[in-house]
Amino acid sequence: MLTGVIAIKRLFSILLIISLCLLLSGCWNYQGLNKISIVSGVAIDRNVDNHNYQLTIEVFDLSGSGKEGGTKSQIVEAEGATIYDAVRNAKKRLTKKLYFSDMQLVVISNQIAREEGIQPILDWFMRNEKPRETFATVISQEKTAKEILTASGVDHKIVAEEIEKILDADNRTTASTKNIDTYKAMNILQGKEGNALVLPAVHCTSNQDKKVVEVNGCAIFKGDRLLGYLSPEETRYYLFAVDEIEGGILTFPFNEKNQDTQDNLTFEIFKNKTKRSYSYDGNRLKVFFDIKTTVALGEVGIDIDVSKKDNIEKIKTVAVTVFSDRLQTVIKKVQTEFGCDVFEIGTMISKKDPALWSQLKENWNIYFQGIDVEVRPEFEIINTALTK
């Protein structure tokens, strides 16, 4: 019990020691908010002259008060032999420390992607505990990645955030590019299932005479090297093949007189389910894509009464044919031009039949080029909006 002078002294000395420990040593990790600079996106280029990485870092500019119309962004450039080196070098011209926990985008120039591969670049972002593994990685179709981040966004003033939001909503609205978290991309790069990496591609266009960024299809990789691109339309069909489409538009040409015309019908996609299966007869691998899509007829560019059942059936038949043709074109293009399995067929086989996969995986890329893919689409038109 605490009675007596000695006990009081003891208590006092303990308290003193504790408070000294706390106060003198300081709070090692105390990082006041005014000492951090929040990063929203990073663009990575290779400096041709000295072979250093050149980083263009977009940070939130929070100096003004919020009333002046939204957050602005600031660009910080940095250079270094490795990514981490460049990041730390940036502190040479910053008072605040870069804070990566809210980073949403990494833009890699196509030059690095083609010539060196992206895995070494992404390693720091995955290893360091600050960046969140769900950020998006995109490939810049411009000359440098820097141009993407220094352009402006139409909505947001912060380009990285804008691109990320566009990507996020993409497979529900436009279905013209692939949305993939970087940790999943790393899974593909390090996985043994013959999968090929597909990343979104971004370019600059002009909007009201201002340079803005726009998402433009996807980039196809072999290993971690960039091979080429798929255009936005081709990407849409690709998304059908891998069952990642949740919305978007399909256009078809429809002509009762069987003439070649422009696309004049528009389907609005509500739901889609792609069932993928395969058959292997010891020799040849045949893959089937069963695509069931629920659509609405959103736009009819010709004069036809779509309330009649026969017309709907005709439209469906046309759609099925056109769709299969177009999808096959994309598949063939990937097989011949790129020769890498972006359709996750290898994954499918490895999960359903590991024994077969161990047989095939040796030369999978070559094997893949010769696979026969049968496409069996089916459309269900549920409504034609407000008019007949």
Partner 1 sequence: MLNKSSEENKTTNVLSSSLEENIDEVKNIFVDDATIGMRWITNCHNTTLKYCIVQNDGLVSAAIINENIIKPLMLSKVSLNKGQQIDILIHQVISTNQIKKTNQWQEIIEAVTYGDTILFVDGEAEALLLNSKGFNTRAIAEPSGERILSGPREGFCEALMINLSMVKRRIRNNELKIKFQSFGVRTHTQICICYIDSVVNKKVLAELYRRLETIDIDGVLDSNYITEFIRDSKLSPFPTTGYTERPDVVVGKLLEGRIALFVDGSPVVLTLPYLFIENFQSNEDYYLSYYYTSFERFLRFWGFILSITVPAFYIVIVAFNQEVLPTTLLTNIVRERTGVPLPAVIEAIVMLILFDILKETGIRLPTGIGQALSIVGALVVGQSAVSAKLVAAPMLIVVAITAITGLLVPKLNAPVIYIRMMLIAMSATLGLLGFIAGISIIMTHILNLHSFGIPQMVSLDNLKYQEVKDTFVRGPWWKMIDRPSALTKNKTRLSGDDRGDND
Partner 2 sequence: MIKQGEVVTNERGIVMQKEMISMRQAICMITLFLFGNSALMGMGSGMGQDAWIAIVIGAVLGSLISLVYARVIRLFPERNLYDIAQAIFGKIIGKLIIVLMTWYAIHLAALVLRNYSEFIQIVALEETPQLAMMIVMLLITGYMAFSGIEVLSKWVVIAIVLVFMVVLFTVVLSIKQVTLTNILPVMTHDFAAVGSASLKLFAFPFAETVIFLALADSIKKSDNPYKIYLYGIFIGAMILIVTFLRNLMILGVPTLEKAYFPSYTAARIINIGELFSRIEITIFYNLILGGIAKISICLFAAIKGTEILFNIKSNKKIVFFISFIILLVSRYQYNSVMEMIKFIDIYQVYAVPFQIVIPVLVWIGAEIKTRKKRKTT
Q: What residues from 154 to 173 belong to the interface with partner 2 (CB under 8 A)?
A: none
25 binds partner 2, rule: CB under 8 A:
yes
Q: Please spell the DSSP secondary structure of 84-115, one letter per residue.
A: HHHHHHGGGG-SSEEE-TT--EEEEEHHHHHH
Rg of the chain on CA atoms, in Å: 27
The nearer residue to partner 2, 73 or 350, going by C-beta atoms, is: 350
Work out what residue 181 binds among partner 1, partner 2, none; the CB cut-off runs from 5 to 8 Å by kind: partner 2
> Within the chain, what is the greatest distance between any pair of CA atoms?
109
Q: What residues from 343 to 372 belong to the interface with partner 2 (CB under 8 A)?
A: 350-352, 354
Buried residues in 232-269 as b, exposed as e (16+ CB within 10 A) = bebbbbbbbbbebbebbbbbbebeeeeeeeeeebbbbb
Report, in Å, the least distance between residue 135 CB and partner 1.
12
Stretch that binds partner 1, among 25-33, 172-180, 214-222, 245-253 (CB under 8 A): 25-33
33 binds partner 1, rule: CB under 8 A:
yes
Residue located via tokens 């709907």: 312
183, 134 contact by CB (below 8 A): yes
Over the window 161 to 200, marking each residue x when it contacts partner 1 by CB under 8 A and - when it does not, the resulting string is x---------------------------------------
User: Rounded CA gap, 157 and 205, in Å?
Assistant: 16
Residue located via tokens 């003891």: 10
User: Rounded CA gap, 341 and 198, in Å?
Assistant: 10
181 binds partner 2, rule: CB under 8 A:
yes
Over the window 59 to 88, marking each residue x when it contacts partner 1 by CB under 8 A and - when it does not, the resulting string is -x-xxxxx----x-----------------
Q: Which of 234, 240, 297 is nearest to 265 (CA)?
A: 297
User: Rounded CA gap, 357 and 337, in Å?
Assistant: 24
The nearer residue to partner 2, 287 or 297, going by C-beta atoms, is: 287
Work out what residue 350 binds among partner 2, partner 1, none; the CB cut-off runs from 5 to 8 Å by kind: partner 2
Work out what residue 99 binds among partner 2, partner 1, none; the CB cut-off runs from 5 to 8 Å by kind: partner 1
The nearer residue to partner 1, 67 or 257, going by C-beta atoms, is: 67
10 binds partner 2, rule: CB under 8 A:
no
Work out what residue 232 binds among partner 1, partner 2, none; the CB cut-off runs from 5 to 8 Å by kind: none
22 binds partner 1, rule: CB under 8 A:
yes
Q: What residues from 96 to 135 belong to the interface with partner 1 (CB under 8 A)?
A: 99, 101-102, 104, 130, 132
Report, in Å, the least distance between residue 119 CB and partner 2.
12
203, 196 contact by CB (below 8 A): no
125, 61 contact by CB (below 8 A): no
Task: Order across the sheet with 372-383: list the strands.
Answer: 249-252, 265-280, 285-300, 372-383
Distances, alpha carbon 296 to alpha carbons 174, 245, 246, 290, 314, in Å? 15, 15, 13, 19, 15
80, 57 contact by CB (below 8 A): no
Q: What residues from 113 to 132 belong to the interface with partner 2 (CB under 8 A)?
A: 129, 132
Stretch that binds partner 2, among 24-32, 47-55, 149-157, 328-336 (CB under 8 A): 24-32
Stretch that binds partner 1, among 44-52, 95-103, 351-359, 361-369 (CB under 8 A): 95-103
H-helix or E-strand spanning residue 60:
strand 53-61
Q: Please spell the DSSP secondary structure of 178-239, one letter per residue.
A: ---BHHHHHHHHH-SS----EEEEEEEEEETTEEEEEEEEEEEEETTEEEEEE-HHHHHHHH
Stretch that binds partner 2, among 6-14, 21-29, 88-96, 367-375 (CB under 8 A): 21-29
The nearer residue to partner 2, 120 or 354, going by C-beta atoms, is: 354
Residues forming the site for partner 1 (CB under 8 A): 2, 22, 27, 29-34, 36, 38, 40, 60, 62-66, 71, 99, 101-102, 104, 130, 132, 161
Residues forming the site for partner 2 (CB under 8 A): 25, 28-29, 129, 132-134, 181, 183-184, 186-187, 190-191, 350-352, 354
